[in-house]
Structure formats: structure tokens, C-alpha cells
């Protein structure tokens, strides 16, 4: 077998791998991209794109259902779940050309539709070809983690890779897992007509601000979703045409019967079958360890995105791609900086966060303060009857913005100026001084910043100073 030599060989055509391939090829590098499955990876085919399409369908149904609050004929909508499925896959199909083999070959990328495996530290085999590269990038992503629950292997269950194939609404969907994926899909299915129960071993959204999580909890329950927290699933079993889920909660056993079971208990990096041992690449079941330049223990090989076991977000894979291109093509010592990583849970209301939470900030910096502003104080939110939620800013010494949490309508859009603020270490005074257009939801950012100064601005000391100033000629 003849050995082919290239500049960069990439394993995995998800968000990160595609970004590296496109950037490197357009910069003139010889690039090979290997993908054993679908181009676009999990995000396009089983994750971000289909889930947001399903959420949009659920939101449309909820708008019809609740429009009576605007004086419009609100009623229970007639939902054709097969057409909802068509909508979801239509969205995937609309985006797929951007990630297609044809597009990337047009950019000059040599795409191999086959598994890739390292055979030594500098070489891999894919599709019957032997590839030697100056640099490699492992961008194989992650897959749904299926926990070792007794009886689970004996019953049909869904994960994010199969739930979007449903053409009929579940009668009763039981979701094991109360993280972002579980809650997003729980609410979407509830709004599309299913009875939904969530079973979570800890508290829902455990990585988020608990005050913000409480807003989400309250909204989901108000829509009729049953949530069991601190509930340890013991076993699942077939019971006639149903699936029984037995769990321990508050010291006692409880059971719920489902027509459909969705497992949403986190994700695991895809590290199997890659020949990592042969390449001298250290790894564990939790992923491939990397240094700040995203290099593995084999310095010729970079790892990016979910497979590194860190932040499992599509936008982080894209961020990693930029770091790798600077290192691999320009030999610049670019390093990752995780102090301003944003994330969004796309429930309704949305929950967005960047930087330190209030709890984390006060643990590190005792002088840190948190200030909040409620959406109900925002005129646009009132006009749209979307007053649930708040914004919370976390401020450190010198007024430096350490983090922010927003739970409310369009929180994912509203978090961006706070990402910039945390990234550039701006102060709360900078945010308070902006001119915000009226009436917009974006005003909450200016208002919460202004609220930081309210206690001192209207203090007795300030009032005395103003009184003295008025006596001057």
C-alpha cells in the first residue's frame, strides 16, 4: 500500500473537524478528512439542529395554545406529528449542503468516507489508503451515554440519535436525565401533545445557577411535566405494552409507566477503534487529555471538541478549530482560554450563562457581589407577556464583571454582550454606561448594571453631597 503524504489529516467531520478542514484547505494546506458516518456529525444530524427544530414546532403549538392572553382565540392545536418530523428533517436537509462531501471537495479537501485508524505515531489508514501527515486532528465527538440500569438492554429506548425518527407523538414519554438535553426534549414533546415525566438523580440543571434552574423547574411543571429529582433509577422492564421505570426517592420505591423511554444522562467521548495506543496518544473513557494548545501526548496530534472530555458544545469545537489552525499551520503558540465560555439551555424560558456563577465567584473572591434585575421590570417583556425570569450579574473587585446568568425570553441572544464583557474583563460601569434602545429585552443588561450602583447612588451620603452642591452659587 502506497503511503500518501499530506499536511493535515482530520478524523471526524463534525463541527470542529469541518472547521479545521475548511480553514486549512483555503489557506493552501493539503488536507484529508475522514468520516465514517454522516457529514456534519452529531450536531447537524442528531443534536443541535434537529432539537432546535423540534423546539420551534413545540413553541408554535404553545403560541396557539396560549394566545388567549392577547385577546386572540387560543385553543388546543391540532398536531400532525408526522409533519413535525418532516419539518425537523427538512431543516437538517436545508443545512446539510454546507457540510456536504461535495462542498468540501470543492474547497480542495480530500474526503474519505470510511473509518480511520492510527497504525503508528505518524500514519493512519482509512478507506484502504495509508495516510502520513505532518499534523493530525482527532475530532470524533461524543455519543449518548447509556447508564448501566438493570433491564435497560431488554427494553426499547430512545437517545438523541433515535428520538428524531419518531413519526407519532409518544403517549407518555419518560425522560431519564434532567440536564439540558433531557429538559429541552421533555418540554418540546409536552407542547406537542405527549404526557412527560422527568426522572433526575440529582437536581435539574446542576451546573447552572440554582435560582435560574428554579425558574425553569416552575415553568415545566406549570406546563404539566412531572419532575422527580434526587431519584435513582433502579430498573426498567416491559409491562405489557408499557415500559415501567422503578426508582428510589425519599427512601421509598416509586414506579412510573411509559409508552416511550428517553435516556438523556450525558455523553461519552468517541475514543474507541481509533488506534490511539498505536499512535502513543493517552486517553481514558472520559476523553483525550490535551495541553493548552490542544496537543495530545503525541505532539503531532491535536484533539478538539467533545472528544477532549471538556465543554461539550458545538461552539467550543469551532473555537478549538481556530486554536489548532494557528498552531498547526502557522506554528503560533495559541492557547485555549476558558474563562468566558457561554452556554444556553433552550427551554422556554431559555437559560444562558457565561463566566463564574454567584456561588463559584464568592468561593474564589469573598468580596464578589451579585445583582439581579427581573424581566417583569422590562417594558418589552410586559408587552409580550414574557415576564418570567431575571438577569444576574456577578461582579468582583474594581467592578470587573466575573459572570452573568440570564433566564428569560431570548436569553441565548441576550448573553452575548456579557460574553464580551467577561472575555475583555470589562467593568459593570462599562455596561451601565451603554445606550440601550427602547423598548427591547436588551435593556435588562443596562438595568442590572445600573442596579449595582443603586445602593450607593441613593445613599444618605450621596444625598448630603447633592444637598451641599445645591448651596453653591
Taking the mean position of all CA atoms in its chain, how far away is CA 159? 16
The per-residue pLDDT for 460 is 63
| 8 A C-beta contact, residue 439 and residue 379 | yes
> 232-239 and 242-249: which strand pairing?
antiparallel
C-alpha span between 393 and 413 (Å, rounded) = 16
Q: Kindly give, in sequence order, each residue whose CB lies less than 8 Å from that of residue 199, ignoring residues fewer than 6 positions away.
A: 174, 175, 176, 177, 178, 228, 231, 233, 245, 247, 256
- Note the helical H segments in 11-80: 15-26, 41-45, 48-66
Query: What sign does the CA torsion over 306, 310, 315, 320 have?
Result: negative
| 8 A C-beta contact, residue 39 and residue 101 | yes
- Of 157, 190, 145, nearest to 172 by C-alpha is 190
The per-residue pLDDT for 250 is 87
Phi, then psi, of 194 in degrees rounded to 5: -90, 150
For 48, which DSSP code?
A: H
- Of 228, 263, 264, 235, nearest to 249 by C-alpha is 228
What H or E segment, with its residue span, contains residue 372?
strand 369-374
| 8 A C-beta contact, residue 139 and residue 40 | no
C-alpha span between 342 and 320 (Å, rounded) = 14
C-alpha span between 250 and 261 (Å, rounded) = 23
| 8 A C-beta contact, residue 8 and residue 29 | yes
Taken in order of first residue, the domains within the chain and their CATH numbers are 3-39+100-144+268-330 (3.50.50.60), 152-265 (3.50.50.60), 342-456 (3.30.390.30)
The per-residue pLDDT for 454 is 79
Phi, then psi, of 425 in degrees rounded to 5: 55, 45
| 8 A C-beta contact, residue 225 and residue 173 | no
DSSP of 55-117: HHHHHHHHHHHHGGGGTS--------HHHHHHHHHHHHHHHGGGG-HHHHHHTT-EEE-S-EE
Find where cell 489508514 sits: 125
C-alpha span between 67 and 209 (Å, rounded) = 30
Give the residue ranges of the chain where pLDDT is below 50: none
What H or E segment, with its residue span, contains residue 342?
strand 342-345
C-alpha span between 190 and 353 (Å, rounded) = 25
> 195-199 and 123-126: which strand pairing?
unpaired
The per-residue pLDDT for 465 is 62
The per-residue pLDDT for 1 is 76
C-alpha span between 392 and 371 (Å, rounded) = 6
Q: What is the dihedral of CA 396, 401, 403, 407, to 10 degrees?
A: 120
The per-residue pLDDT for 470 is 72
Cell digits of residue 376: 417583569
The per-residue pLDDT for 251 is 86
What H or E segment, with its residue span, contains residue 227?
strand 226-228
Cell digits of residue 194: 405527549
Biggest distance spanned by C-alpha atoms of the chain: 94
The per-residue pLDDT for 205 is 98
C-alpha span between 294 and 240 (Å, rounded) = 51
Find where cell 440536564 sits: 179
The per-residue pLDDT for 223 is 98
DSSP of 301-315: EEE-GGGGSS---HH
User: What pTM was computed for the model?
Assistant: 0.95
Amino acid at each position: 500500500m502506497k503511503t500518501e503524504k499530506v499536511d493535515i489529516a482530520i478524523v471526524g467531520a463534525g463541527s470542529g473537524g469541518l472547521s479545521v478542514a475548511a480553514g486549512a484547505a483555503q489557506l493552501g494546506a493539503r488536507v484529508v478528512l475522514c468520516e465514517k458516518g454522516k457529514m456534519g456529525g452529531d450536531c447537524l444530524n442528531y443534536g443541535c439542529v434537529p432539537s432546535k427544530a423540534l423546539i420551534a414546532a413545540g413553541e408554535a403549538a404553545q403560541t396557539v395554545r396560549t394566545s388567549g392572553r392577547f385577546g386572540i382565540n387560543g385553543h388546543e392545536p391540532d398536531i400532525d406529528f408526522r409533519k413535525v418530523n418532516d419539518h425537523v428533517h427538512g431543516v437538517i436537509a436545508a443545512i446539510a449542503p454546507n457540510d456536504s462531501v461535495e462542498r468540501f471537495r470543492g474547497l480542495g479537501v480530500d474526503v474519505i468516507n470510511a473509518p480511520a485508524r492510527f497504525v503508528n505515531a505518524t500514519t493512519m489508514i482509512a478507506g484502504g489508503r495509508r495516510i502520513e501527515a505532518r499534523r493530525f486532528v482527532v475530532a470524533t465527538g461524543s455519543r449518548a451515554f447509556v447508564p448501566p440500569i438493570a433491564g435497560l438492554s431488554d427494553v426499547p429506548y430512545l437517545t438523541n440519535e433515535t428520538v428524531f425518527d419518531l413519526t407519532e407523538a409518544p403517549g407518555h414519554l419518560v425522560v431519564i436525565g434532567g440536564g439540558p438535553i433531557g429538559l429541552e426534549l421533555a418540554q418540546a414533546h409536552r407542547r406537542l401533545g405527549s404526557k412527560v415525566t422527568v426522572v433526575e438523580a440529582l437536581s435539574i440543571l446542576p451546573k447552572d445557577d440554582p435560582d435560574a434552574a428554579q425558574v425553569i423547574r416552575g415553568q415545566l411543571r406549570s406546563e404539566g411535566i412531572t419532575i422527580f429529582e434526587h431519584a435513582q433509577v433502579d430498573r426498567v422492564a416491559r409491562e405489557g405494552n408499557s415500559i415501567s421505570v422503578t426508582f428510589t426517592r425519599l427512601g421509598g420505591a416509586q414506579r412510573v409507566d411509559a409508552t416511550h423511554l428517553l435516556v438523556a444522562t450525558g455523553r461519552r467521548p468517541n475514543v474507541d477503534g481509533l488506534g490511539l495506543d498505536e499512535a502513543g496518544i493517552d486517553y481514558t473513557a472520559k476523553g483525550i487529555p490535551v495541553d493548552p494548545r490542544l496537543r495530545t501526548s503525541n505532539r503531532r496530534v491535536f484533539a478538539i471538541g467533545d472528544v477532549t472530555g471538556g465543554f461539550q458544545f458545538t461552539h467550543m469545537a469551532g473555537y478549538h478549530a481556530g486554536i489548532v489552525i494557528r498552531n498547526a499551520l502557522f506554528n503560533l503558540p495559541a492557547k485555549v482560554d476558558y474563562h468566558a465560555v457561554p452556554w444556553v439551555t433552550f427551554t422556554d424560558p431559555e437559560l444562558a450563562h457565561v463566566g463564574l456563577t454567584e456561588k463559584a465567584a464568592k468561593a474564589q473572591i469573598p468580596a464578589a457581589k451579585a445583582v439581579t434585575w427581573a424581566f417583569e421590570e422590562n417594558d418589552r417583556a410586559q408587552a409580550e407577556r414574557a415576564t418570567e425570569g431575571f438577569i444576574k450579574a456577578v461582579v468582583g473587585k474594581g467592578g470587573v464583571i466575573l459572570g452573568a446568568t440570564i433566564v428569560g425570553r431570548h436569553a441565548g441572544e441576550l448573553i452575548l454582550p456579557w460574553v464580551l464583557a467577561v472575555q475583555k474583563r470589562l467593568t459593570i460601569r462599562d455596561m451601565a454606561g451603554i445606550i440601550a434602545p427602547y423598548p427591547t429585552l436588551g435593556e435588562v443588561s443596562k438595568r442590572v448594571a445600573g442596579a449595582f450602583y443603586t445602593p450607593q447612588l441613593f445613599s444618605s451620603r450621596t444625598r448630603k453631597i447633592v444637598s451641599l452642591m445645591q448651596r453653591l452659587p
